[in-house]
């Protein structure tokens, strides 16, 4: 039989087998899609407190004074916060409803008389000038970030007003009033360090969730692949192929190509969910990066390694139940170690070292190179090479096992 006919026959057979196992294939798409949605939304606040994403704040200015406007502009100039002004007469009930309806975490209210208190100190000392409404889901750390910014800018505004009142005296003694009122840049360069990470940036919830559950689901290709492989072996299909002089190489390639195609569809769909669906529910949109070549390379490398491992498991297992159990346990171990279930940057040092042993960690780091670190093809070469060598090793073991099974 000509080589091309053998290849086409094998590929046709594999695609037909995949279409007959719709439920197993559906798991590969439904499971990661659900996890991406759930984790991107549920863990959003936790990740945003580290990743530098702007905190959305509703603002209500009930004071018409110039000082109140100046204070709001000062807060708005900070990149940490994104303000949305509401009408002056908005009630606390309306503010509360909007906070929960649109998932705002804070509402800042400048009370009437704010400018008088700042400029002239008019009003009872125990009367607060600002009111901060906080969504109960907000972490204490995020609350402290906003509270600290408000207190710092309020202190600066008070200082500026004090300098203005002392203007004549300051000029008499030769002190530059403008210099005293100028913004003084902080001498501290604040940068978060994440032990074991190659970047000072931490991922957002969607940047963590999409690659994590995409890699996890790609490795779960073991379920449909083992079902078809073991079923063929039990029905004698593999023996008939061997009688047609179909080599082990053709057999393996014929098994891999259709599932490479399935994995490629997974990549496209999961990235699309992170880019377009997650933002519809209040999450941050995933930016897929600018390197299509790098994204394609790491995707193909993860797919190759995952399918090679699945082929080895399907070869050594006697039943589909055994293959599913072995593959499921291995995937959970690889996922737990590799940063799928718990981000690597929050792990203790010894766990981060163990993470380097997981092929899922290699895939995760490769995708983060693209999504988070804005890397290119060169940046994902180390992870891609590691996954390729892992796949070659698994395929070598598969060929050895197949040879011994035939001799037996």
Q: Which tens digit of pLDDT belongs to each residue from 186-201?
A: 444 445 444 444 555 6
Q: What is the pLDDT of residue 3?
A: 54
* Per-residue pLDDT tens digits for 63-111: 878 888 888 888 877 767 778 888 888 888 888 888 888 778 888 888 8
Q: 10 Å Cβ neighbour count for 267?
A: 22
pLDDT at 311 (0 to 100)? 92
Q: Are 312 and 306 in contact, with CB atoms under 8 Å apart?
A: no
Which residue has 């090679």 as its token pair?
A: 308
pLDDT of 344 reads 85
Burial classification of residue 32, based on how many CB atoms lie within 10 Å of its CB (0-12 exposed, 13-18 middle, 19 or more buried): buried
What residues have CB less than 8 Å from 115, skipping those under 6 apart?
Answer: 63, 64, 65, 66, 67, 68
Looking at residue 333, its pLDDT comes to 94
Which CATH code, of 3.30.565.10, 3.40.1710.10, 3.30.930.10, 3.30.499.10, is assigned to 54-165? 3.40.1710.10
pTM (2 d.p.): 0.67
What per-residue confidence (pLDDT) applies to 179?
47
pLDDT at 389: 97
Output the pLDDT for position 177.
46
Residue 235: the pLDDT is: 65
What is the DSSP pairing of strand 130-134 with strand 106-110?
antiparallel
Residue 208: count other Cβ atoms within 10 Å of its Cβ: 27
> What CA–CA distances, in Å, run from 153 to 177, 228, 407?
19, 65, 80
Tens digits of per-residue pLDDT, 291-339?
Answer: 899 999 999 999 999 999 999 999 898 888 899 899 999 999 999 999 8
Q: Please give the average pLDDT of every successive group of 10 residues along the chain, which has 408 residues.
A: 58 67 77 91 70 74 83 78 84 86 83 77 61 80 77 77 58 49 46 48 85 94 84 65 61 81 93 93 85 94 95 90 91 92 83 90 93 89 96 92 73
Per domain, the residue ranges of the chain are 3-46+197-407, 54-165
pLDDT of residue 113: 80
């Amino acid at each position: 039989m000509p080589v091309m006919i053998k290849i086409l026959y094998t590929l046709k057979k594999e695609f037909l087998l995949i279409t007959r196992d719709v439920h197993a294939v559906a798991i590969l798409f439904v499971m990661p899609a659900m996890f991406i949605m759930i984790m991107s939304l549920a863990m959003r606040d936790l990740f945003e407190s580290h990743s530098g994403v702007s905190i959305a704040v509703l603002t209500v200015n009930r004071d018409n004074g110039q000082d109140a406007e100046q204070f709001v502009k000062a807060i708005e100039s900070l990149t940490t916060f994104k303000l949305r002004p509401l009408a002056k007469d908005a009630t606390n009930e309306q503010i509360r409803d909007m906070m929960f309806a649109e998932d705002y975490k804070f509402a800042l209210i400048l009370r009437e008389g704010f400018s008088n208190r700042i400029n002239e100190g008019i009003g009872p000392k125990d009367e607060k000038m600002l009111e901060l409404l906080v969504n109960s889901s907000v972490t204490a750390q995020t609350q402290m970030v906003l509270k600290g910014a408000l207190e710092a800018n309020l202190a600066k505004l008070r200082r500026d007003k004090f300098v203005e009142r002392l203007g004549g005296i300051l000029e008499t003694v030769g002190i530059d009033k403008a210099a005293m009122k100028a913004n003084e840049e902080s001498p501290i360069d604040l940068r978060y360090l994440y032990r074991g990470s190659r970047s000072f940036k931490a991922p957002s919830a969607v940047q963590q969730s999409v690659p994590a559950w995409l890699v996890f689901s790609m490795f779960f290709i073991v379920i449909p692949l083992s079902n078809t492989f073991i079923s063929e072996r039990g029905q004698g299909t593999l023996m008939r192929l061997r009688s047609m002089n179909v080599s082990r190489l053709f057999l393996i390639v014929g098994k891999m190509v259709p599932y490479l195609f399935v994995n490629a569809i997974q990549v496209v769909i999961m990235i699309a969910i992170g880019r377009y669906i997650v933002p519809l529910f209040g999450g941050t949109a995933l930016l897929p990066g600018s390197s299509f070549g790098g994204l394609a390379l790491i995707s193909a490398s993860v797919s190759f390694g995952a399918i090679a491992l699945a082929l080895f498991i399907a070869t050594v297992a006697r039943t589909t139940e055994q293959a599913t159990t072995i593959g499921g346990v291995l995937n959970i171990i690889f996922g737990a170690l590799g940063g799928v279930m718990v981000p690597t940057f929050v792990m203790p040092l010894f766990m981060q070292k163990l993470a380097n042993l997981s092929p899922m960690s290699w895939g995760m780091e490769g995708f983060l190179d693209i999504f988070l670190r804005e890397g290119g093809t060169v940046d994902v070469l180390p992870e891609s090479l590691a996954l390729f060598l892992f796949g070659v090793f698994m395929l070598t073991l598969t060929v050895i096992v197949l040879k011994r099974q035939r001799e037996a």
